[in-house]
Amino acid sequence: MSDNNSSTAKSYLDSAIAQGQSALGSLTGSTGDKTEAAARSDQAAAEKEASHTVGKLGPLNVSPSGGVSMDDPNRSEGSWNQTVGSAKESLGGLVGSEALKKEGSQQNAEGKGQEAQGQLSDFGSGVQDRVKGAAGGMVAGITGDREKEEEMRRIHDDAKTKQRSAEADIQKQAEA
C-alpha cells in the first residue's frame, strides 16, 4: 500500500520481469539485456528484504514504510518471565535448590507460552488490519476520498509492521 517501493508484491513483479529480460537476453545474445536483468533482479531482492525489515526498540516496531506498532504486552511479559525463570534455574543449580530450579523452569516455560500468545495475537491482528487497510484504501480510491485513502494506507502500513515484527520473532525462535 505504501509508496516507498518496498512492497513484496512489487519485488515479485520485478523479479519476474528480470527473469523474462534475462531469457530475452539469452535468446538474442544481448549482454545489455542480461546486465539490466541482473540489476533488476538485485533490485527485486533488495525490495523484498526492505518490505520485511522492521526496526525494534523494546516493544516499539518501525518499518521503512513509516508503519509503527507496539508489541502485544504478552510478548514483553513473556520474555521477562523467561529471563527471570532462567535466572532462577541457574541460581537453584548454583545453590543446590531443586525447588528453585523447578520454579524457574516452570516460569520459563510459562513465559515461552505467554510470549507465543502475544506473537500470535500480533500476527493475527496485523493480517486482519492489513486487509482492512487495503480494502478500505481501494474503496476510498474509487470514491475519490483522499483523506480516507491516506488513513487506510496508514492502517495498512502499521499493521504490516506489527505482522512483520511477529514473523521476525517467530522465525528467530524457530532457528534457535
CA-closest candidate to residue 64, choices 45, 40, 48, 42: 48
pTM for this entry? 0.68
Query: Do the beta carbons of residue 52 and residue 11 sit within 8 Å?
Result: no
Residue 174 predicted with pLDDT over 70: yes
Percentage of the chain lying above the pLDDT 70 cut: 83
Give the pLDDT score at 48: 58
For 60-88, how does the pLDDT look when each residue is reduced to its tens digit (9 = 90+)? 899 887 889 999 999 999 999 999 999 99
Which cell is 5 given? 517501493
For residues 32 and 43, what is the distance between their CA atoms, to the nearest angstrom? 16
Residue predicted with more confidence, 99 or 46: 99
Give the pLDDT score at 54: 74
Give the pLDDT score at 22: 75
Cβ-Cβ contacts under 8 Å for 145 (sequence gap 6 or more): none
For 14-51, how does the pLDDT look when each residue is reduced to its tens digit (9 = 90+)? 667 767 777 777 888 888 877 876 777 667 666 655 55
For residues 129 and 121, what is the distance between their CA atoms, to the nearest angstrom? 12
CA-closest candidate to residue 9, choices 159, 17, 148, 20: 17
Query: Do the beta carbons of residue 1 and residue 134 sit within 8 Å?
Result: yes
Give the pLDDT score at 5: 43
